[in-house]
Amino acid sequence: MPSLNVLLALMALETGGAETHVVGLAQELNKCGHRVVVASQGGCLEMELSAAGIPHVKVPLHSRAPWDMLRALQLMNRIVADWEIDLIHAHARIPAWIGHFVSRWNQRPLVTTAHGIYSANLGLRTLTLWGDEAIAVSPDVKAHMVRKFGVAANKVTVIANGVDTGRFAASIDPEPILTEFGLRAADPKIVYISRLSGARGEVALKVVKAVPELLRRYPSLTVFIVGEGDKLPEVKRWAEKVNEDFRRLAILVTGSRTDTAAIIATARVVIGVGRVILEGMASAKPVVIAGEAGFMGLLTPELLPAARRHNFSGRGSNQMTTARAILSAVDKALADPKLAAELGDFGREKAVGEFSLDQMAQRVEQVYYKALGRSSYAADR
């Protein structure tokens, strides 16, 4: 297949799941010989693109303000012309909306990825555009697109998110994190990573609420809470109260970090949803699925099909995330090192065999060629 000039468009480059996905995809496509340009409002992940030699163009794709959208249209058109773009791949509603018009004006196919369950009220349903081909990160997301947005089922390909199994692995050295925070390797640690905003931020508060009882059972325990968002001040406030009560830094609220592989390397248990679960699995750690949409608990072989179907989000569970549920799941792993090791090995095996970054990129590449095959532009190449 010929190499392509691909424009990846997303809102920003902060440390969220979709953003990390785009950076990983850009890196893999680049390795495969494609020329990739990324457009977004920018953020801390720009340096990872720069390190891989992938250009980033700052475009206000995060804003619905009319002047920003007009500016985004102008800049995206310029990128298509200057970089001789063959195909646009948009992640999120605003980039897809802008990408739709740029695609039509320049006769270049548009591919979109739905990273979750989009709200489908009348106004948003009308403004949501899916392009020539669409990708859903899980079967339940595809079903939602077909049912609520009327997208043709044969237009949507399910491709699970991929994880860099070299960057996230059991061999990663935790020493830089242990040194930074003055921790001992032998003491147990829990790592929770998430966006700390809205309902997702409430989950972090439930993790904090579970910590006092965990500390009574495991006095040397340390808990990392990693992420940014509007709930961060509240999470810090409650974490400080726990630390004061136990007279030590039992909960470390770090804010956003780009060295999450090393932080996860310190963990006995990883808590989160989506990409964080895949990163924990790749790192050979037992993982607890705890999200705003539901609670699945410790990921076991029996739970994997349901977890995969719902993108490791907790959707589809009949149990909501509570402090008590988190306590029970974490305690089960901490109290049984043999079980924890078995679940860690199982997770690593599945991450390498089914959720690796290169496998994901190869499947996305096939969607690109499919979109080009349907486009009149393909005849001109």
Residue 82 buriedness (CB in 10 A; 0-12 / 13-18 / 19+): exposed
pLDDT of residue 336: 98
pLDDT of residue 377: 52
pLDDT of residue 379: 44
pLDDT of residue 317: 94
| 3-state DSSP assignment of residue 271 | strand
Q: Which residues contact 82 (CB under 8 A, 6 or more apart)?
A: none
Question: And the tokens for 176?
Answer: 């830089």
Shared fold status for 5-162+356-380 and 175-354: yes
300: left (phi over 0), alpha (psi -120 to 50) or beta: beta
What is the mean pLDDT, run by run of 10 residues, along the chain of 381 residues? 93 88 96 96 93 96 94 98 98 95 97 91 77 97 95 97 95 97 97 93 96 98 96 97 97 95 98 97 98 96 96 94 98 98 98 95 96 64 48
What is the rounded CA–CA span in Å between residue 146 and residue 138? 13
Encode 336-366: b = buried (16+ Cβ within 10 Å), e = exposed. Answer: eeeebeebbebbbebbeeebbbebbbeebbe
pTM above 0.75, yes or no: yes
Domain 175-354 classified CATH 3.40.50.2300? no
Residue ranges per structural domain of the chain: 5-162+356-380, 175-354
Q: Which residues contact 206 (CB under 8 A, 6 or more apart)?
A: 290, 321, 322, 323, 326
Fold of 5-162+356-380: Rossmann fold (3.40.50)
What is the rounded CA–CA span in Å between residue 381 and residue 228? 44
